[in-house]
Structure 1
Amino acid sequence: MFFASDNGLGASDRIMAAIAAANDGSACLAYGRDDGTARVERLLSDLFEREVGVFMVTTGTAANGLALSTLTPPWGIVLCHDESHVMEDECCGPEFFTGGAKLVGIRGPGAKITPEALEATIASLGRRVPHNAPIHALSLTQSTELGLVYSVAEVTALSAIAKANGAGVHMDGARFANAVAALGCSPAEITWKAGVDVLSFGTTKNGALACEAIVYFDPARGAEMVRRRMRAGHLLSKHRFLAAQMEAFLADDHWLDLARHANAMAARLAEGLATVPGVRLPIQPQANGLFPIMPDAMVEALKAEGAVFYPWSDKGLADADKARKGETMMRLVTSFATRGQDVERFVAVARGAASAASAA
C-alpha cells in the first residue's frame, strides 16, 4: 500500500526496455547529438502542434530553475503559488539558477492562483526604479500541490494578466500528463495556445526513470539554454539514455495511458474513502493526488498494516475544512503502477479502524 509518492515505484516496462535498447553497444555521438534526441525533438513538435525548442535534463528541479533563468534576470521577481514546488521544495534552486531572482508567493485555495489574487499581488508590488525588483515571470504548477488542475480558461486568464504586466509564463509540469489526461484537452491547448512560454515537461513521476524536458514554444526564447544547461552541469554526455526514455514515453500515447491509470486509481481511492466514517475529503481529486483528513487513530492503524503515506499541510484549505483536534490531513499519491488491490485494502483497513473507534 504505497501512496507516498509517484516517484517511488520504478519505471514502466516499456521505458526500461527502451533504456536497455539504447545500451546495445552501438557508437553514438554524445551531448545530445544522437539520432534519438533528434527524433524526440520532432515528436514534441508534433505533440505541441508547432516547432518547439527542447532541452532534456534529469530532474524537475533543474528543469524549473533553468527554465526560469531564461525568463528573468537576477534582479527580477518570479510570481508563484506559496505552496508551489518551486517555492517550498527546491531548496532555493530557482534562485540559484536565476542568479538571485526573488520568488513571491501568492495564496489561493487548492494551491491554485486566481486571477484576482494575481492582480492584487502585482498591484501591491512597488514600481520605484531602481529600488523595487520588476516582475519578469509567473510560474504555474500543473497539476497543483493539492491535486487540482488549472483549466484552459484559467491558464489563459492568468497568462493574459502576466503578459499585460511584462511577465513571461512558465508551467511546472511535473504532473503535466495527469493534468492533460484529466482535462481531455490537447497539450497545445493548455500550454502555448493559453499563453505559456516555457514548460517543464515531466516524465519521472509518470513512469520514466529520470527525464524531464524544458520545452520552449518559441525556440528563439530558449536559444541560450544550449550553454546554460552545460554550465549548470545538466547536459548528459550519454544523452541518448534521456532520449530513449522520452521517445518510449511519447510513443503510442504511452504517457497518457500511464497518467490515466494513476488518475483512475486516485478517483477509486477517493470514492472508497468517501464511504468511511470519520474521513473527510475537503478537496475532490482531479489528477493523481488526494488529501483526506483522517482521525489520527485511523492513520496509525493504516501505518501498522504497512501503508506508506505522508501528513500534509492544510494551510491551503478554508478554515472550516481544516483538520480538527485528533485529525490530520494526509497526502495519498497514486501512480502508473498503483494496484487496484492496494486501493481496496487501504479502504478496508480504514473502514476497520472506523468500526473499531465506534465500538470503543
Structure 2
Amino acid sequence: MHFASDNSGPALPQVLAALTKANEGYAMGYGADDEMAQVTAKIREIFEAPEAAVHLVSTGTTANSLALATLCNPWETIFCSHVAHIHEDECNAPEFYTGGAKLTMATAPGVDKMTPDSLHAAIAGEETRGVHGPQRGPVSITQVTERGTVYTLKELTALCDVAKSFDCPVHLDGARFTNAMVALGCTAAEMTWKAGVDAVSFGGTKNGCMGVEAVIFFDPKHAWEFELRRKRGGHLFSKHRYLSAQMLGYLDDNTWVEAATRANANAAHLAGGLRAIEGVTFAHPPQANMLFVNLPRGTHKRLFAAGATYHLWGGDLEGEDDSEMLTARFVCDWSLSKELIDQFLDLAAG
C-alpha cells in the first residue's frame, strides 16, 4: 500500500532489460553511443519534430534548471505557478543555473494553475522599472501540476498565446508528462509545440525509469548552448549509454504510454473507492495519477498503523481530535495492484 510517490516504485522490466543489453561490450561515451542516436530518432518521431534537439540528464531538477537556463538570461525572471516544482521543490536550482534569474509567481498563493489573465498580469507587471527591475523571461508550465490537475490543450494554447504576445519562450515541466498526455487523450506534439511550447522536460523517472529525463528543444538553435551548460554544470554522463538505454527501453513498444495508462487507471480506481466512503472529500480534482484527499485523523492513524505509506499535506497526525480532517497526497505508479488498492480502501472505510 505504497502511495508516497511514483518515484518510489520499481523500474519497468523493459528498462532493466535495455540496461542489461546496453551493458555488453564497449560504447562511446558522452552521448556518442548508438542507443542515444536511436533515442533521438524515436523522440523526434513521437513528437513529430524531425529537427528537435534531444538531450538526456539524470534528474528532473537538472532538466528543468538547464532548460530554463538555456532560455533565460540572468537579468530576466521566469513566470510560474506558486506550487510549481521549480518554485517549491528545487532548492533554488533554477536561480543557480540561470546565474541569478528570479521567479515571478503568476498565480495566487496555493493555486495550481495559471490562467491567461493571471499570466498576462504577471508578465505585464515586469519591465516597468527599466534597468532597475527584472526583464521578462520564459514561462514555465507544470503538466501534471503539483496538485494532480491537468491543463487542457485549450488552456495550454491560451497560456502560450499570452507568452508569445510578450515574446516570452515557454517551457513545459513534464515530470509526469505521459500521465497528462494519457489523461487528455492527445499526442505528444499536441501537448507541446503545436500548443506553442518551445522546450519540454520529458520525464521518465516517475513513470518507470531508474533515473533519466529528456530535455527537448523544438528549435535546434538551443542545442549547443544546452550541451555546454550540461557539461559545465557537471551533468554530462561519461557512460552515457546507461541513460540512453533507459530511455530507449522506456520508449520502445509504447511502454511509456502503457505505464502511464496503468498509473492513471490505478489512481482512478483509488479515487472511485474513496468517493464511496462517507465524508471523504477531494482538495483538488484528481485528473491523472495524483490525489489530494481529506480524511479524518483517525482514519490516517488506522492506515499508517496497517503499513500504508503516503504523505500528509499539512496537519499533525498526533493531534487528539480524530475527527479533524487532514489532507493526504496519494500518488499511484504503474506497478500498484488492484488488490493492494482494494486492501487500502477496505482499511480506509473502517
Report the secondary structure of 2:140's partner residue.
Answer: strand
**Structure 1 segments of 4 or more deviating over 4 A?**
none
Task: Map 1:217-296 onto structure 2 (within 5 A).
Answer: 217-296=218-297
2:215 aligned with 1:214: yes
1:11 is matched with which residue? 11
1:358 is matched with which residue? none
1:64 is matched with which residue? 64
Q: Name stretches of at least 5 consecutive residues in structure 1 with no aligned partner.
A: 315-323, 353-360
Give TM-score scaled by structure 1 length: 0.92
Return closer, same or farther for 1:155/1:309 CA change in 2, 3 Å cut-off. Answer: same
2:319 is matched with which residue? none
Q: Distance in 2 between matches of 1:140 and 1:228?
A: 22
Instruction: Provide the alpha-carbon RMSD of the alignment.
Output: 1.5
Q: Distance in 2 between matches of 1:256 and 1:29?
A: 30
Q: Distance in 2 between matches of 1:16 and 1:153?
A: 37
Give TM-score scaled by structure 2 length: 0.95
Return closer, same or farther for 1:240/1:63 CA change in 2, 3 Å cut-off. Answer: same
2:130 aligned with 1:132: no
Report the secondary structure of 1:137's partner residue.
Answer: strand
Q: Distance in 2 between matches of 1:122 and 1:208?
A: 36
Show CA shifts across 1:18-71 (max 9, x none): 1111112x1111100011101111111111111210110000000000000011
1:197 is matched with which residue? 198
Conserved? CA contact 2:205–2:213, under 8 Å: yes
Q: Distance in 2 between matches of 1:210 and 1:126?
A: 39
Q: Note the C-alpha offset of 1:339.
A: 1.2
Q: Amino acid of the residue matched to residue 84 of structure 2?
A: S
Q: Amino acid of the residue matched to residue 233 of structure 1?
A: G
2:318 is matched with which residue? none
Show CA shifts across 1:245-267 (max 9, x none): 11111111110000000000000
Q: Distance in 1 between matches of 2:323 and 2:226?
A: 50
2:337 is matched with which residue? 339
Q: Name stretches of at least 5 consecutive residues in structure 2 with no aligned partner.
A: 316-321
Q: Note the C-alpha offset of 1:284.
A: 2.5
Q: Amino acid of the residue matched to residue 59 of structure 1?
A: T
Aligned-residue sequence identity (percent) comes to: 45
Q: Distance in 1 between matches of 2:331 and 2:22?
A: 31
Conserved? CA contact 2:273–2:345, under 8 Å: yes
2:44 aligned with 1:45: yes
Q: Distance in 2 between matches of 1:102 and 1:302?
A: 41
Q: How many matched pairs?
A: 342
Conserved? CA contact 1:107–1:117, under 8 Å: yes
Show CA shifts across 1:171-199 (max 9, x none): 00000010011111110011001000000
Q: Note the C-alpha offset of 1:312.
A: 1.7
Report the secondary structure of 2:295's partner residue.
Answer: strand
Q: Note the C-alpha offset of 1:328.
A: 1.0
1:79 is matched with which residue? 79
Conserved? CA contact 1:289–1:334, under 8 Å: yes
